[in-house]
Every structure is written in C-alpha cells, then in structure tokens.
Structure 1
Amino acid sequence: MSDDKKPSNWQQAITGEWHGYPSLFEADGTHVGYNKVSRASEFKDGRTTYWMETDFDAFGPLMTRFDLNTRFNFGVIDSDQDRIYTGPDFIGSGRPFGMMVDSNYYSPGWNVGLRTMNHVVPDLGIQVYSSQLFEGDTMVGVFNGIYCVSQDYATNPDTQKQVEDFLLQEKKLGRKAYNLPVKNEGKFTGEFEVYNDQQELIGHNKVTIHHKPINLVHSEQTIEIEGVINRKWTAMRTRTNNSHQFHGPDMFGNGFSYGRYLYSTRHSYAESFKLWSREAVVDSNYTQVCTWQFLESQKEKYMTHGTLTWEEGDEVLGAQYVE
C-alpha cells in the first residue's frame, strides 16, 4: 500500500484505545447484562484495521448469540465520505459527520444488522456509543454505553487505574433509566453542528428546550431552534415505563428508551418534515448528548448533533396538602 495515503479526519479523531462497558438490552428494554470492550481503529502502511476485544457478562439467548469468544479484526476502507467495513467480522459502511459516525452494517457471526452511532464529545472526554440490532426490520436488541480513550493503557498503571474506575462507574450507570426532570421546570440549552446531506458542515443551531412537568409522567416541551434551521414546536410528552409519546399540537410521534438512551421519531404537523433522534443522558445533571436527524419528503435533509445542559427552574410539583 502507498505510504502517501493519509488517514481521514475521523480516523485521526479516534486515535487511541477506547474502553467501555456497554449494556445489553432485549428488544423490550429489559437489561440482561454487559459487554466489556476494548477497541481501536488503527492506520498503518496506508491501511486501516479495526480490532475489538469483548467480554460478555449476560444471561438469556442474547448471551449465547453474541459471545463468540474471539477477537474481532476487520479491514476498513477509510475516508471522510464513507468508511467501508470489509470483514470478516462486519460488512457495511459508516458515514462521518464531524465527530459523529452513523453506520449501517451486518455481522455474520451475530446474524444481526446494526445501526451504530459513535459520537466523540471532546468537551466531556467521552464517546457516546449505541448499536440497534436488527433481523431485517425487526429489533432484537440494543447495545449502548459511554467510552473513554487512552494512549498508553498497556504500559501505564495510572492509566489502567483510571480506566478501571471509569468502567466500574459505567457498570453502575448502564441500566439507569432515561428520565427527564419530573418535578422541576427548566430548560435545556446547547449548540449543535449542522451537516447537509452531503456531510458538509454548513453551520450551527442554537437549541433551547423549555421543559415543564404537568404530572409525574406528562410534561410540556417547547423546542426552539435558531441558526441554519429556524423552527419552534410545542408538544406534550408522556412516558409509560420506557415507552414515550409526543401528542402535539406541533409534533406527534413516539420513542423507546434502553437504559439512559432514548430513540424517537417525531412528525411535524401538516408538513412532510420529521425528526429522528438519539438522546443519551450522560450524567446526574441531566446533560444530554443528542443526534437529531431531520428528514424532508422522506429524504435526509440535515444531520445535527450536540450537547444539551440543564438549567433548573422552580419546582412545579411540590408536596400537596388537604387542609
């Protein structure tokens, strides 16, 4: 291979060994275990190789399905337009959008198709990972979790201790439920990068979500977006266990949560415009790392991603009394 070939921007952004403890969920959202993972995408002599070592600790049929007891080691055709996975472990491709890659590929050993999203968040020092697992269009399970990165794990005891502490924390938090504040109103704010359908960064959106609980399972939210996209929607949200619904008047749809992650689709009323989203709560302060994909006429219009921070307001569901 030519030594003149350079790694893509994404390949450079993920240099190092990544460590995580993703949770494994059945299709109905039941948490059934964990998968301790070390992985890296390495560029050498003009070629890119992705390796992954896994250690499953789960129960039920998904444990038998996914615990192959082997090191994954597969080729990648690397570029900032498409990253093509050439097997033998994974066949398919991923599309980079800055610090986030949206991949669709197939695992012969697991017999599942995967939609995997890896979002590096430098400000938080993490990578937010998820894989939705399919047979055809049927969901059979979900992996998700947070990763940290190291450059000297094999040789530095301090780094090894930091990583092990991180993994213990991830194991504790991995099955926490996706919940937004249930008693206090407030707002989420953040800035999202905006990419067009050619994966070009075309600007930024300022995102504000005004959140007001109505009762313990209902809330009213108004989403305001300013920048490349200028929109405003209000909808009532409801939650039953890990099933979420959006009841208008401006957006209608539903979602399903797996641990700390919510995957949802919302349709803008009376127009051919919808929002697909993955939102992950990554700390105890309700910080959300989000990917929002906007579709118009059933075609991708924008891919956006960013971090929302929570600013707490008044308690609106305080103690009730009968005098």
Structure 2
Amino acid sequence: MTSSDTTPDKAAGPSAWQRRIAGEWHGRPSLFDAEGTWAGYEDIKRSSVYRDGATTYYMDGGLEGGGPLAGRFRLGAPFAFGVADADTDRIYEGPDFHGSGQPYGSFVDARYYGPGWQVGLNTWNQVLDDGMTQVYSSVLYEGWAVVGCFNGLYTRTTEPELDAEASARVAELLAAETRCGPVPFVLPTKERGTYAGRCELWTADQKPAGTVEVAVELQPVDLLRTRHHVTWSGALEREFTVERRRDGNRSFLEGPDAWGSARAFGRANFPVWHLAGEAVEVKGREFAVDAAPGMNAGRQLAVVYELSAGNRLESVLHGTLTWQPAA
C-alpha cells in the first residue's frame, strides 16, 4: 500500500463518517476496572471539527470517582488531536492520541494509543438509526492486558448554543446515564423470546454488502443457563445453537455449534466465540441500550459483530435488536 492509498483528499470535503458525527456529543460514560467493577463516571463533551480542509478532534470533561484508576484517567487539560480524515483510514495524528479508526457505515472501529492515559484503546462507536444517539465503548489496554473500560450512550447537538429542546435532551441523557451506567448486562432469565432486527453487513474493505435479518431466540434452562438459537438470513446465511452459562459479569458459550466466552462491563457485553469445525471467529459487543436498575433485562440491544475467517477480518455486522416475547 502506498501513502496515496490512505492520504485524504482535502478538496473532496469531509468524509461520510465525519459528516455523520458532525456537531457536539454529550455523554457521561462509566469507567470499569479490568474485572468489570464499576469505578466512576467521566463527564464528556466531544466534537470532531472539519474546517478549511483539516479535522481536529476535541474532548473536554472530567472524571468523577475512579477509585484506583482515578490518578491515571484524570488529566489537567482537555484533549485535542489532529485527524487525517478519510472514509478508509482516519489517522489520529496526535499529540494526545496516535492510531487510526476504520468506519463501516454507522460504526467505527478505532485502535490507538493515549500518552496521557498511558493506555492503548480499542474504541467502538455505533451511531443508531435516529442519527442522534451513539453507543460508545473504549476497552483500555497495557500491551495485550485489559486494564479497564469506558462505555455509555451519547446524544448529539448540532448548534453551538443549545436551545430549550437540546438542553432538556442532554440533561435527560446525563441523568439516565448516571442512573443506568453501572447496571450489569443481563438477558431474560425466565422469559422465552427472541431478540430480532435488521442489521447492516459491511465487507472488510468497508463496502456495504447488504442487510441481514438477525434473530437470537432464547430458551432459559435455569437462572444461569440459556439456550441461544441464532439465525442470520439475507446477505449472510448462518444458523447455530449454543448454550450460554452466566457467572456474574462473565459468560461462557458451551456448544454445540460455537464455543467461547464474554465479559461485561456494565451494560456492554464483549463476547468472542468460535464456530465449531470452522476457522471462523466472531468478536462482538452487545449493549443493552434500555437497561435500568431492577430485576429485569434490557429490551433493546445495539450489536456489532466482527467476523474473521482464517484470522483475517471478513465482514462487520451491526444494528439494533428488539426483544419479542414468545407467544
């Protein structure tokens, strides 16, 4: 690959992803330690500004709480870094973050390093269909070792001065994130039904490949075990069954058609599973958008799955699934 393959064309204007995230995003993501224990909040306003052919990413806010992680993730100045904008590789040029992000429609997978936090980050941002809500997570690493995770929901405003409607919407989201940020990811434990929805499929080279109807039928076995029957139909055809065993914020997929495990950080569950008898790995994030305190499960999941074959990324599947109780 030559440098011209990834160098953005400034004359072409902002990329599709840059246009999608224009404005300012307001959130209060929660911080979790490596074991998935809730540690605090980070009040954040962030924006990616395209001006005169150049893009700069700004992030301002502050950490509340944090426990033993507070010293690492509390800084004395806002973040700002240049971005070489493109629809292929968005290069983060420093000084505060170095790395890149790859958009797949309304989802971006970004991997980069933050010198101020002294961690590598794998950030997944998924803009929902309303165009105003973003599902965010950053898994934080030292080398290959996970040291923590930020995640939560953001809402977007498009004007520098907030009107009454925008102010109320931001205040409502921040209050909801304060209440719901620490809520653990859990699926229905006594109710049969199906999470279903239409998802977008993208190729590894970031081209749209059609839509996939996703259905995850749940059949609870007991309070800790549930049988999942998964069907993908459309641009991607697959059908498989697994038994999922939950152990706190960890879960284990124990065959017969797939094997793997997951760890949840609050509402965000991060599974990796391997399809039996194939060189296929699925790495995902399942975020319970409407999860709230109480003895219940979220009814809406924002999902992203990255499918690899032979250890090479093959496709990216993302969308929203809604719970449908069994008749």
Partner Cα distance (2:230, 2:121) in 1: 30
Structure 1 unaligned runs (5+)? Answer: 315-323
Partner Cα distance (2:162, 2:321) in 1: 36
Is 1:300 the counterpart of 2:313? The answer is yes
Is 1:118 the counterpart of 2:125? The answer is yes
Partner Cα distance (2:67, 2:256) in 1: 42
Partner Cα distance (1:158, 1:123) in 2: 16
Please state how far the C-alpha of 1:155 moved relative to its aligned partner: 4.3
Task: Please give the per-residue CA displacement for 1:55-83, whole angstroms capped at 9, x wherever unaligned.
Answer: 11013221110110211111000000010
> What SS class does the counterpart of residue 53 from structure 1 fall into?
strand
Q: Which of 46, 57, 60 is residue 53 of structure 2 equivalent to?
A: 46
Which residue is equivalent to 2:238? 231
CA contact (8 A) 1:40 1:51 kept: yes
Q: 1:48 to 1:254 in 2, by over 3 A?
A: same
Partner Cα distance (2:88, 2:253) in 1: 34
Which residue is equivalent to 2:167? 160
Is 1:313 the counterpart of 2:326? The answer is yes
Which residue is equivalent to 1:275? 282
Which residue is equivalent to 1:319? none
Which residue is equivalent to 1:73? 80
Please state how far the C-alpha of 1:153 moved relative to its aligned partner: 5.2
Is 1:95 the counterpart of 2:102? The answer is yes
**TM-score, length-normalised on structure 2?**
0.93
CA contact (8 A) 2:30 2:38 kept: yes
Partner Cα distance (1:59, 1:84) in 2: 29
> What SS class does the counterpart of residue 181 from structure 1 fall into?
coil
Task: Please give the per-residue CA displacement for 1:9-33, whole angstroms capped at 9, x wherever unaligned.
Answer: 0000111100000000000011010
Task: Please give the per-residue CA displacement for 1:274-306, whole angstroms capped at 9, x wherever unaligned.
Answer: 211100000145200000111111111111101
Give the fraction of aligned pairs with identical amino acids, expressed as a percent: 38
CA contact (8 A) 1:130 1:142 kept: yes
Which residue is equivalent to 1:318? none
Q: 1:211 to 1:11 in 2, by over 3 A?
A: same
- Matches for 1:190-229 after TM superposition, within 5 Å: 190-229=197-236
Residue type of the alignment partner of 1:89? D
Partner Cα distance (1:155, 1:232) in 2: 47
Please state how far the C-alpha of 1:3 moved relative to its aligned partner: 7.2
Is 1:255 the counterpart of 2:268? The answer is no
> What SS class does the counterpart of residue 117 from structure 2 fall into?
coil
Is 1:244 the counterpart of 2:256? The answer is no
Which residue is equivalent to 2:42? 35
CA contact (8 A) 2:286 2:303 kept: yes
Which residue is equivalent to 2:147? 140
Which residue is equivalent to 1:59? 66
Please state how far the C-alpha of 1:152 moved relative to its aligned partner: 2.5
Partner Cα distance (1:161, 1:268) in 2: 46
Please state how far the C-alpha of 1:157 moved relative to its aligned partner: 4.0
Task: Please give the per-residue CA displacement for 1:253-291, whole angstroms capped at 9, x wherever unaligned.
Answer: 000000001001111111111211100000145200000
Structure 2 unaligned runs (5+)? Answer: 1-7, 292-297
Which residue is equivalent to 2:5? none
Which residue is equivalent to 2:294? none
Q: 1:3 to 1:200 in 2, by over 3 A?
A: closer
Count of paired positions: 314
Q: 1:48 to 1:209 in 2, by over 3 A?
A: same
Give the CA RMSD over aligned residues: 1.5
Q: 1:156 to 1:124 in 2, by over 3 A?
A: closer
